[in-house]
């Protein structure tokens, strides 16, 4: 007989003799599965001497039966003995068909010391053969069940299927799946349980799952009332046994399976199937989570693809369009169904390079292309750069125009100054005065040009500063138009300002600049003369001022463009009048800074109407000082 614990007294001697003389192999294990007793029959049956195994784990359980072994020990710990037919290793590697009776090893007070296994060579044991057959059937069914679970990739459905499969395989009356969420448990899968229980939570630390995690085991069986308080199972009538198994995803506990028994009983076989199903459940949950992540990632990519302001196209290895986003359709005017399966409607740059092209619609695009080596596909990204292209062209024109506008007065000033310097004594007093007058006029033009450039730069940087206060618009119009008739013998000026014109909110000085520029344009773009009319009236909560001329007019397509920086209307031969294209940009910027606006309209009968709208401030305190209609010619 191998090593046994020493007992004092005659009864102990008899007990040792019984163990030593038993024809059946008796193996006693402590709670850590280390061998306490390995009798002579065990030495004969398995081929290992006792002194080689005492205090160690016996290497006799095949790996594929380890779940069965664990389930038996757990069932024995919480209930009566278990008898089953199984297989164990001989020292020489053979597998032995055996029947093993397992019971708990306890003290007189009931404390668990370990487990006692009695092995029988039982080839004829019909009961054991029937249990083996049942296990085989259930394990076979487990394979089908696992296939059904893995066929589903929607995570909530997978969790419910796991709970349903649990009851089918173990004979439990109800099943549940809980997820571990930090220090809480959440019931996320149910079968034969009230739907109202779904989503309920409990504390992980005080639950059976927490207890199972602390023990390091894979399954746990509870039959006492303490375990029934776990989660919400206390609500279930007739519950007498709970079995729990951990499901791990990626090597970490993700959740647990609960098998709930009210009418049926849980044997070691049910615990084994619970452990096996829990392992497969972790794989199924991991697959479903990976699928959900992939779906979520594709949804994010599709959202970016569809919402991008850039046109994006995906081309296959042959250079044919397989994807075409909404922005691409908007930029090109071509819908996806018109292009899928065909080439893109513009040339492509080499990978990593940029190509700027112009479509037949006149729109300019910057096109980039990148290859995807893994698939042989290409991604084409293109964006609208028409505005930038126009601004670039406008800046070039601005530089050329500004150079011209500066060169002419500077040349004249330099010429007259040189003449005065070299021929002062030879010129009459009238000639000298005329030369100085010309220099002064050209210097004034240069100063005005510099003012426009400075105002234009400030407006572009949103740095125009205005004061919003109440002022008399009529007085500003009168001051701006005073003396205009004498400036030209080809123009007739009419000013019509009603006596009761309301005051306005705004900046009087900024409004002077607006009026001056609009009046200057009216003269400038009416080279053949004609009527220039200034009129104002109240309109709802606004005060409207218009400046009409009978000049060359502005084409409909240019009526908004003339308010952009460095832009002059190309039609209507306005280009021949010169300028740097900042006047109306400054006018609109100043008007909007005061809370107003400026628009351009056609004048009935030809010419242009410039319409200024400012916010009305109500009647003036003393209208008696106002002036009536005035016509100046």
Question: Each residue of 213-258: pLDDT tens digit?
Answer: 998 888 888 887 666 667 666 566 778 888 888 888 888 889 888 8
The radius of gyration of the chain's CA atoms, rounded to the nearest angstrom, is 49
Question: Each residue of 157-175: pLDDT tens digit?
Answer: 888 888 888 888 888 888 8
CA distances from 343 to 306, 320, 348, 491 (A): 20, 5, 10, 61
Mean pLDDT, rounded, for 569-573: 44
Could you tell me the two tokens for 186? 């959440």
Residue linked to tokens 């109407």: 609
Mean pLDDT, rounded, for 47-71: 93
CA distances from 619 to 32, 84, 445, 508, 597 (A): 100, 107, 38, 17, 21
Q: From CA 345, how far away is CA 336, in angstroms rounded?
A: 12
DSSP strands (E only) in 39-140:
82-89, 95-106, 112-120
Q: What percent of the chain has pLDDT over 90?
A: 27
- State whether residue 615 is helix, strand or coil: strand
Question: Each residue of 414-458: pLDDT tens digit?
Answer: 777 888 888 888 888 888 888 788 788 767 766 665 655 555 455
Name the pTM for this structure: 0.43
CA distances from 166 to 156, 198, 549 (A): 16, 17, 90
pLDDT at 65 over 90: yes
Of 42-51, 227-236, 285-294, the one with minimum mean pLDDT is: 227-236
- What is the DSSP code (8-state) at residue 126? H
Higher pLDDT, 117 or 155: 117
The predicted pLDDT at position 25 comes to: 92
């Amino acid at each position: 007989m191998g090593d046994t614990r020493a007992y004092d007294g005659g009864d102990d001697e008899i007990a040792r003799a019984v163990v030593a003389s038993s024809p059946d192999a008796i193996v006693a294990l402590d709670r850590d599965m280390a061998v306490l007793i390995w009798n002579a029959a065990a030495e004969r049956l398995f081929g290992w001497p006792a002194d080689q195994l005492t205090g160690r784990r016996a290497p006799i359980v095949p790996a594929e039966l380890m779940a069965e072994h664990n389930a038996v020990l757990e069932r024995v710990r919480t209930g009566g003995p278990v008898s089953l037919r199984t297989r164990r290793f001989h020292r020489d590697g053979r597998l032995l068909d055996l029947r093993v009776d397992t019971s708990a090893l306890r003290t007189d007070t009931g404390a668990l010391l370990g487990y006692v296994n009695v092995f029988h060579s039982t080839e004829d044991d019909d009961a054991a053969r029937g249990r083996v057959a049942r296990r085989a059937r259930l394990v076979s069914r487990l394979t089908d069940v696992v296939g059904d679970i893995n066929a589903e990739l929607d995570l909530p459905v997978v969790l419910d299927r796991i709970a349903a499969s649990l009851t089918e395989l173990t004979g439990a009356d109800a099943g549940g799946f809980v997820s571990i969420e930090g220090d809480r448990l959440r019931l996320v899968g149910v079968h034969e349980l009230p739907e109202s229980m779904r989503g309920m939570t409990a504390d992980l630390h005080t639950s059976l799952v927490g207890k199972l995690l602390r023990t390091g085991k894979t399954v746990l069986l509870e039959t006492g009332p303490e375990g029934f308080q776990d989660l919400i199972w206390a609500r279930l009538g007739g519950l007498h046994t709970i079995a729990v198994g951990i499901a791990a995803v990626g090597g970490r506990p993700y959740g647990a399976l609960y098998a709930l028994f009210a009418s049926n009983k849980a044997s070691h076989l049910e615990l084994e199937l619970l452990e096996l199903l829990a392992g497969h459940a972790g794989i199924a949950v991991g697959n479903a989570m990976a699928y959900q992540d992939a779906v979520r990632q594709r949804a994010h990519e599709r959202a970016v693809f569809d919402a991008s302001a850039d046109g994006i196209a995906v081309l296959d290895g042959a250079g044919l369009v397989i994807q075409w986003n909404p922005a691409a359709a908007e930029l090109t005017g071509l819908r996806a169904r018109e292009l899928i399966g065909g080439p893109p409607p513009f040339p492509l740059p080499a990978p990593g390079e940029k190509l700027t092209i112009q479509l037949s619609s006149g729109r300019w695009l910057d096109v980039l292309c990148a290859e995807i080596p893994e698939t042989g596909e290409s991604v084409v990204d293109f964006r609208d750069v028409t505005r930038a292209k126009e601004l670039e062209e406008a800046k070039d024109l601005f530089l050329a125009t500004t150079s011209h506008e500066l060169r002419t007065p500077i040349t004249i000033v330099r010429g007259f100054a040189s003449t005065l310097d070299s021929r002062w004594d030879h010129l009459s007093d009238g000639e000298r005065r005329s030369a100085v007058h010309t220099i002064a006029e050209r210097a004034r033009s240069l100063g005005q040009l510099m003012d426009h450039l400075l105002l234009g730069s400030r407006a572009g940087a949103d740095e125009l500063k205005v004061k919003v206060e109440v002022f008399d618009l009529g007085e500003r119009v009168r001051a701006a138009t005073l003396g205009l008739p004498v400036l030209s013998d080809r123009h007739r000026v009419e000013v019509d300002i009603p006596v009761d014109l309301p005051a306005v909110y705004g900046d009087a000085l900024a409004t002077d600049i607006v009026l001056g520029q609009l009046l200057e344009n009216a003269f400038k773009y009416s080279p053949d003369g004609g009527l220039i009319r200034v009129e104002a009236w109240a309109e709802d909560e606004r005060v409207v001022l218009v400046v009409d001329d009978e000049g060359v007019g502005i084409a409909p397509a240019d009526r908004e463009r003339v308010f952009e920086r460095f832009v002059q209307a190309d039609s209507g031969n306005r280009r021949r009048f010169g300028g740097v294209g900042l006047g109306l940009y400054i006018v609109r910027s100043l008007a909007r800074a005061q809370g107003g606006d400026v628009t351009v309209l056609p004048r009935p009968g030809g010419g242009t109407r410039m319409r200024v709208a400012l916010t009305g401030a109500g009647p003036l305190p003393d209208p008696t000082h106002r002036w009536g209609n005035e016509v100046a010619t």
